[in-house]
Chains A and B, each alone.
Chain A
Amino acid sequence: MATNASITVRERNGLGGLLRRFPFLPALVILAVLLVLNGIFEPNSLSFRSLTGLIRTYMALMLLAVAQTYVVYAADIDLSVGAIASLVNVTIVVLMQHLGGSGFSVMAALGVGVLVGLACGLVNGIVVAALRLQAIVATFATSIFFTGLALTILPVAGTPAPAVFWRTYGGSILGIPFVFYGVGVLAVLLYLLARTRLATQLLAVGDGQQAAFQSGLPVAAIRIGGYVLCGVFAALAAFCITGDTASGDPLVGTKMTLFSVAAVVLGGSALSGGFGTVAGSVIAALIIGLINSLVFFAGTPSHWQNFVQGLAILAALMVGILVSRRGRT
Chain B
Amino acid sequence: MRSVADFAKNPLVVALVLIVALLFLGNALSPGFASGQQILRLLIVAALLGIVAAGQNLVILGGREGIDLSVGGVVSLSAIVAGNLMNGMDGGIPLAIVGAIATGALFGLFNGLGVTLLRIPPLVMTLGMLGVLQGLLVVVRQGIPSGRAAPALSEFVTKPHLFGLPGIIWLWVAVGLLMALILHRTVFGHRIYAVGSNERAAFMAGVPVRLIRICLFVLSGVFAAIAGLCLLGYSGSSFANVGEQYMLPSIIAVVLGGTPLSGGKGGYTGTMAGAILLVILQSILTTVNIDESGRQMVFGATLLVLMLFYGRGRGLRA
Residues of A within 8 A of B (CB): 77, 79, 127, 131-134, 136-138, 140-152, 155, 209-210, 213, 219, 258, 261-262, 265, 271-272, 303-311, 313-314, 317-318, 321-322, 325
Contact = CB atoms under 8 A, between A and B. Distances in A.
11 contacts: A132-B312, A133-B312, A144-B300, A152-B294, A155-B292, A210-B316, A258-B69, A262-B124, A262-B131, A271-B124, A272-B121
Interface in B124-139: 124-125, 127-136, 138-139
Given A141-B303, A152-B297, A314 B132 contact: yes
A134 B251 CA distance: 11
Contacts of A322: 118
Contacts of A149: 293, 297
Interface string B96-122: 000000000000000000100011110
Contact of B127 (A261, A305, A308): A261
B206 interface: no
A265 B135 CA distance: 21
Given A152-B293, A303-B143, A219 B300 contact: no
B294 A134 contact: no
B252 A140 contact: yes
A95 B252 CA distance: 35
Contact of B293 (A148, A213, A308, A311): A148
Q: Is the interface of A mostly helix, strand, loop or mixed?
A: helix
Query: Which 6 A/B pairs are nearest by Cβ-Cβ distance?
Result: A307-B135, A145-B300, A148-B296, A314-B128, A148-B297, A144-B300
B134 A143 contact: no
A102 B114 CA distance: 53
B124 A131 contact: no
B299 interface: yes
A137 B303 CA distance: 9
A313 B131 contact: yes
Contacts of A314: 128-129, 131-132
A94 to B, nearest CB: 13
Interface in B5-30: none
Most A-side CB within 10 Å, residue of B65, B123, B135, B251? B135
Contact of B303 (A79, A144, A155): A144
B124 A317 contact: yes
Given A144-B299, A262-B124, A317-B128, A133 B304 contact: yes
Given A131-B308, A137-B311, A262 B128 contact: yes
A219 to B, nearest CB: 6
Interface in B237-254: 248, 251-252
